[in-house]
């Protein structure tokens, strides 16, 4: 079948991360039809989790929940002839494939299972100047997946491929695209990016829930991309499932965890500034107009590492003289640990609601003591003993929230490096067990910054009112290693005129003081009525290690939306502005 004659390919995604809704695979198979079912299990932090798994058992390193889902659903998959593509293989795709084969044998089934490998570069870290990471994985593209499907695989298990490749690979195989079909590849890449995070495309984590009034947002259905031969697509979901698919929900996902207008991948660079969205019916949004460019000559390599070990204990301090009591236990702890003090010992006092309160809980402050060190013994039993042994010889009313635990791994760091694509051995393991190399693209192009596009005319001057930005703007934010992204969009042309000309880099620094000393870059996406801010170093030294309540910047966009700002009254009073579930102050 030629590409022009092939019908649209209906790809559903049933997982956005390792830990997503376990029943989603069954739901996607039974609540409607799909041709291909994908599952994305790998985030940067997940690679470190899998790396820690392998430290204790080299046979691990894959997403074990995928096996549970297949135990329940493999019969349905085979019966309905749905093909499955997943990166649940993590650090050990061949190991997961072997486990799947054992599972299928036990069920009396014979699926054809293929693998994509070659992403794991840990054994070459020194050769490639990658340092001494816990994990080192190149982001492979979609042509290995396509080759597996061309060879008749029912299930394709990969290691680290780009999230979008899970959808692009089946489209390449279905439509017969070559590496020269850049616009089609780019369109499918955008579709894959929209559905990769599961229900975030169908109303999950959506900043403007009032816009979706009347829809079941408590249990949104998982997304589907109906990809056409030219790479354009319809984003939808199974009829009757919860959530919603709107231009807004798709926009929110498009500006999530992206750097700029050039969305670089191993097979194509998709120009996000060319994406056009059209609401074509209930829960149906068309994605079209995407321009593709040659990919860069390098592959991104995700590097993770452990930052050491930690332990903590909460001392509870009730009533009067809280600061004196806290100072006493700090002196005692430091003295007990003086012969082998942890490399980092932090004391953080949270005051009581009211030292004279009507309840003891209200009258109780908390002193959190956190110890970190590369040596687990230093922050293990010794630290715990120092806390417990103070129990009868310290401040009045001494008690702790719980006994100290054993030392545990601290946060993980996630950073990136680049290696030439020609140095990565992208390999397919066919259903018959033979190995085939997947050559890199012959034509590449270095990434260059794009000039800022023309902006719309500013709104005419008029009265303003101090109000939270979230009354007129949506936002979504996320992490990429040590960096954060913050995408902000408007829902009307008038609000876009104001956003484009008002929310500058300088304005963002004032609104979010934590960004004041960081490098910020703004990227407007006019067709989406959105701007994306790339904030370098906000999460340093890397994902899940930054101090604070939000080490992955997931709430950064909502912090921005809560910030007060002079907003034109014409936008606040406009009947179509997104508003909030809460009234303005």
Which residues are CB-neighbours of 411 under 8 A, at least 6 positions away? 307, 542, 543, 544, 545, 546, 551
What token pair was written down for 218?
Answer: 């408590």
Query: Which position has the token pair 């050039």?
Result: 262
Report how far residue 295's alpha carbon sits from residue 182's, in angstroms, rounded to the nearest whole number.
9
The enclosing H or E element of 193 equals helix 182-195
Region 403-413: what's the mean pLDDT? 81
Domain identity same for 274 and 318:
no
Residues 356 and 267 grouped into a single domain: no
Asked if 430 and 396 sit in the same domain, the reply is no
Residue 517 shares a structural domain with residue 483: yes
Residue 582 covered by a domain: no
- Give the pLDDT confidence score for residue 2 in this predicted structure: 46
The answer as to whether 89 is a domain residue is yes
Residues 289 and 262 occupy one common structural domain: yes
Query: Do residues 545 and 430 share a domain?
Result: no
- Rounded Cα distance, 556 and 136, in Å: 28
Query: For the ranges 273-277, 295-299, 405-409, which has the lowest average pLDDT?
Result: 405-409
**Looking at residues 359-366, what average pLDDT do you find?**
95
| Percent of the chain whose pLDDT exceeds 90 | 86
Cβ-based neighbour number of residue 30 at 10 Å: 12
pTM of the model: 0.90
How many whole angstroms separate alpha carbon 123 and alpha carbon 425? 13
With tokens 């590097």, the residue in question is 303
The pLDDT tens digits of the residues spanning 310-352 come to 999 999 999 999 999 999 999 999 999 998 899 999 999 999 9
Q: Are 299 and 323 within one domain?
A: no
Residue 56 falls inside a structural domain: yes
Number of domains in the chain: 3
pLDDT tens track for 538-585: 987 655 445 667 888 999 999 999 999 999 999 998 776 665 554 433
- Same domain flag for 322 and 424: no
- Whether 443 maps to a domain, the answer reads no
Provide mean pLDDT across the span 474-490: 94
Q: How far is the C-alpha of 259 from the C-alpha of 167, rounded, in Å?
A: 21
- Do 202 and 282 lie in one domain? The reply is yes
Q: What is the DSSP string of 51-72?
A: HHHHHH-TT--S-HHHHHHHHH
Residue 455 has pLDDT above 70, yes or no: yes
The mean per-residue pLDDT over the stretch 213-237 comes to: 97
* pLDDT in the model for residue 286: 98
In a domain, residue 211? The reply is: yes
- With b for 16 or more beta-carbon neighbours within 10 A and e for fewer, the 234-255 pattern comes to bbbbbeebbbbbbbbbbbbbbb
Do 356 and 285 share a structural domain?
A: no
3 found inside a domain: no
Structural contact between residues 244 and 481, judged by C-beta atoms closer than 8 angstroms: no
Q: What is the pLDDT of residues 278-294, one digit of tens each?
A: 999 999 999 999 999 99
Q: What is the CATH number of the domain that holds 394?
A: 3.30.70.380
What integer is the mean pLDDT of 405-411?
81
Tell me how far apart the alpha carbons of residues 30 and 34 are, in angstroms, rounded to a whole number: 10
- Could you tell me what percent of the chain has a pLDDT over 70? 96
**Same-domain check for residues 287 and 319:** no
pLDDT at position 414? 84
Determine, yes or no, domain membership for 579. Answer: no
Give the DSSP per-residue string, 483-522. Answer: EEEEEEEESSHHHHHHHHHH--HHHHHHHSGGGTTSEEEE
pLDDT of 366 > 90? The answer is yes
Residue 535 CA neighbour count, 13 Å, CB half = 30
Average pLDDT along the chain: 94
Task: Provide the 10 A C-beta neighbour count for residue 448.
Answer: 8
Dihedral (CA of 227, 197, 579, 581) sign: positive
14 is a domain residue: yes
| Domain containing residue 79 | 8-304+415-437
Q: Are 555 and 541 in the same domain? A: yes
**226, pLDDT greater than 90:** yes
Closest to 304 in 3D by CA, of 491, 487, 504, 91: 91
């Amino acid at each position: 079948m030629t590409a022009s004659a092939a019908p649209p390919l209906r790809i559903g995604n049933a997982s956005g991360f390792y830990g997503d809704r376990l029943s989603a695979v069954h739901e996607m198979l039974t609540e409607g039809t799909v041709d291909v079912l994908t599952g994305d299990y790998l985030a940067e932090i997940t690679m470190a989790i899998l790396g820690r798994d392998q430290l204790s058992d080299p046979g691990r390193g894959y997403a074990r929940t995928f096996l549970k889902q297949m135990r329940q659903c493999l019969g349905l998959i085979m019966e309905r002839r749905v093909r499955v593509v997943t990166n649940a293989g993590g650090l050990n795709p061949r190991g997961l494939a072997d486990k799947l084969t054992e599972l299928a044998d036990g069920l009396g089934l014979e699926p054809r299972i293929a693998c994509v490998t070659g992403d794991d570069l840990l054994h070459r870290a020194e050769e490639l100047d990658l340092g001494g990471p816990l994990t080192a994985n190149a982001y492979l593209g979609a042509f290995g997946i396509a080759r597996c499907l061309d060879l008749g695989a029912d299930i394709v298990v990969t290691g680290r491929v780009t999230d979008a490749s899970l959808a692009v690979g089946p489209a390449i195989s279905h439509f017969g695209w070559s590496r020269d079909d850049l616009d089609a590849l780019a369109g499918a890449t955008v579709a894959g990016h929209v559905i990769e995070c599961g229900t975030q495309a169908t109303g999950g984590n959506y900043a403007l829930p009032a816009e979706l009034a009347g829809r079941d947002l408590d249990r949104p259905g998982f997304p589907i991309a109906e990809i056409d031969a030219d790479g354009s697509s319809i984003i939808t979901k199974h009829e009757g499932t919860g959530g919603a698919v709107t231009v807004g929900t798709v926009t929110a996902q498009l500006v999530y965890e992206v750097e700029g207008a050039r969305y670089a991948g191993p097979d194509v660079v998709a120009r996000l500034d060319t994406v056009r969205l059209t609401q074509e019916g209930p829960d149906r949004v068309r994605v079209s107009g995407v321009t593709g460019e040659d990919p860069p000559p390098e592959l991104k390599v995700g590097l993770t590492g452990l930052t050491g070990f930690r332990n903590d204990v909460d001392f509870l301090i009730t009533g009067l003289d809280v600061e004196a009591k806290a100072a006493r236990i700090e002196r005692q702890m430091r003295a007990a640990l003086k012969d082998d003090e942890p490399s980092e010992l932090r004391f953080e006092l949270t005051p009581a609601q009211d030292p004279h309160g009507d309840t003891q809980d209200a009258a109780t402050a908390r002193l959190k003591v956190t110890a970190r060190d590369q040596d687990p013994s230093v922050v293990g039993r010794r630290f715990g003993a120092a806390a417990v042994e103070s129990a009868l010889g310290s401040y009045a009313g001494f008690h702790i929230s719980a006994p100290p635990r054993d030392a545990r791994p601290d946060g993980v760091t996630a950073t990136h490096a680049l290696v030439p694509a020609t140095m990565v051995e992208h390999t397919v393991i066919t259903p018959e067990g033979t190995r085939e190399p997947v050559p890199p693209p012959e034509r590449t192009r270095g990434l260059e910054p794009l000039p800022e596009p023309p902006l719309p005319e500013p709104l005419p001057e008029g009265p303003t009112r101090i109000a939270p930005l979230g009354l007129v703007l949506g936002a979504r934010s996320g992490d990429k290693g040590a960096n954060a992204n913050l995408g902000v969009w408007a829902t009307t042309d008038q609000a876009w005129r104001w956003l484009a000309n008002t929310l500058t880099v300088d304005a963002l620094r004032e609104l979010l003081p934590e960004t004041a000393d960081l490098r910020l870059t703004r990227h407007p996406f006019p067709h989406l009525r959105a701007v994306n801010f790339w904030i370098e170093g906000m999460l340093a030294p890397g994902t899940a290690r930054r101090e604070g309540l939000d080490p992955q910047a997931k709430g950064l966009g909502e912090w921005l939306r809560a910030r007060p700002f002079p907003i034109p009254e014409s936008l606040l009073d406009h009947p179509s502005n997104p508003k909030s579930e809460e009234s303005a102050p």
